[in-house]
């Protein structure tokens, strides 16, 4: 006898509950403990919580939790064709950008691509230490035969970070100019920032083929775009009001005030957001290896799957090395921006 049988009997709902009763599928609780026969049942208590599954055992008319999850799945699958029709042409440039950049990084000889990357590090950082560290890191990755996969990971980071900045900075600017937009965007950003990384992949797998690079590209961008949006909004809102009043007094238009006053003063915050976006892109690119993203993440997954300790650890160290390269280079660039803004 179910715990809540008496409740439905007292309410006179027994006939309704038993009407057209059918054999229900396995409940969510039964599904979770199906392979744990000896486990202690947390619901085996004097007063169980009135969950859907618990109420269903007393009244077959009440849906189970699995009916709820199945309904969500069916709704998504029903809308999949329409979503795919809309999203396919919009996201196709992302696949093109990822595939093209990956092709360039893979086919360019190392003695061209590595000096170019080292020169780029010097250009943005103007730091001899950072440039030497970048050069040494690439030489080390090449010496252990991980340069090719490291460049694959780096190509994905460049594309996804660039798109995140191109989309995130204008969104942050728009949020800073509209309190209503900010209030409506904050819950969405909170959701994107707290959603577990693996969950990003679930709906995308149903929308796109795992052979399409935009599958992992969208997941990386959605995960990494939040910091640059938030810090752009924050940076512009923190611009001194007296400075803005002075700009208005000089007769600056809204666009002039934005480009010549607000953005330069907010640039340190924006650059900090870019740095965080780079780090989050690198973190997500490893998870994205589950859905055919190339690079060091593939070796990490191989080490886990085949219990190859050395392969996994070396690939993991390569990812750490890339993270340090990107972090030090972006922070050196941020330091340059700070010094320039104070002069």
Write out the chain in H/E/C secondary structure.
CCCCHHHHHHCCCHHHHHCCCCCCCCCHHHHHCCCCCCCCCCCCCCCCCCCHHHHHHHCCCCCCHHHHHHHHHHHHHHHHHHHHHHHHHHHHHHHHHHHHHHHHHHHCCHHHHHHHHHHHHHHHHCCHHHHHHHHHHHHHHHHCCCHHHHHHHHHHHHHHHHHHHHHHHHHHHHHHHCHHHHHHHHHHHHHHHHCCHHHHHHHHHHHCCCCCHHHHHHHHHHHHHHHHHHHHHHHHHCCCHHHHHHHHHCCCCHHHHHHHHHHHHHHHHHHHHHHHHHHHHHHHHHHHHHHCCCCHHHHHHHHHHCCCHHHHHHHHHHHHHHHHHHHHHHHHHHHHHHHHHHC
| Confidence check: pLDDT of 292 > 70 | yes
Which of 183, 172, 151 is CA-nearest to residue 266? 172
Q: Which homologous superfamily is 79-342 in? A: MetI-like (1.10.3720.10)
| Confidence check: pLDDT of 285 > 60 | yes
The fraction of the chain above a pLDDT of 70, given in percent, is: 90
pLDDT grade for 61, boundaries at 50, 70 and 90: confident
Q: Which range (47-56, 84-93, 283-292, 325-334) has the least confidence? A: 47-56
Mean pLDDT for 33-62 is 70
pLDDT digits (tens, 9 = 90+) for 93-110: 999 999 999 999 999 999
Domain ranges, ordered by start, for the chain: 5-63, 79-342
More confident site: 219 or 14: 219
pTM summary value: 0.86
Q: Look at residue 268 in the predicted model and tell me its pLDDT.
A: 87
């Amino acid at each position: 006898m179910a715990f809540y049988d008496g409740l439905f009997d007292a309410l006179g709902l027994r006939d309704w509950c038993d009407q057209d009763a059918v054999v229900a599928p396995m409940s969510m609780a039964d599904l979770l403990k199906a392979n744990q026969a000896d486990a202690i049942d947390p619901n085996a208590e004097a007063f169980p919580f009135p969950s859907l599954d618990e109420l269903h055992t007393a009244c077959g008319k009440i849906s189970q939790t699995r009916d709820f999850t199945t309904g969500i799945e069916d709704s998504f699958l029903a809308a999949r064709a329409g979503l795919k029709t809309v999203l396919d042409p919009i996201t196709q440039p992302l696949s093109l950008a990822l595939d093209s950049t990956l092709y360039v990084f893979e086919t360019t000889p190392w003695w061209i691509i590595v000096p170019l990357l080292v020169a780029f590090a010097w250009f943005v950082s103007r730091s001899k230490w950072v440039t030497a560290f970048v050069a040494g890191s690439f030489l080390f990755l090449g010496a252990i035969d991980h340069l090719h996969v490291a460049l694959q990971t780096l190509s994905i980071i460049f594309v996804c970070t660039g798109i995140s900045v191109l989309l995130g900075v204008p969104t942050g600017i728009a949020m800073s100019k509209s309190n209503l937009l900010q209030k409506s965007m904050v819950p969405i950003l909170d959701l994107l920032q707290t959603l577990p990384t693996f969950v990003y992949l679930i709906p995308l797998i149903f929308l796109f083929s795992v052979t399409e690079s935009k599958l992992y590209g969208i997941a990386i961008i959605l995960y990494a775009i939040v910091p640059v949006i938030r810090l752009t909004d924050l940076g512009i809102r923190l611009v001194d009001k007296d400075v803005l009043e002075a700009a208005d007094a000089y007769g600056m238009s809204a666009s002039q005030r934005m480009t010549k006053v607000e953005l330069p003063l907010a640039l340190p915050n924006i650059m900090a957001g870019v740095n965080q976006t780079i780090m989050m892109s690198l973190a997500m690119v490893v998870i994205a290896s589950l859905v055919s993203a190339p690079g060091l993440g593939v070796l990490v997954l191989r080490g886990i799957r085949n219990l190859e300790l050395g392969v996994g650890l070396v690939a993991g160290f390569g990812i750490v090395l890339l993270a340090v390269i990107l972090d030090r280079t972006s922070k050196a660039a941020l330091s340059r921006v700070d010094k320039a803004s104070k002069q």
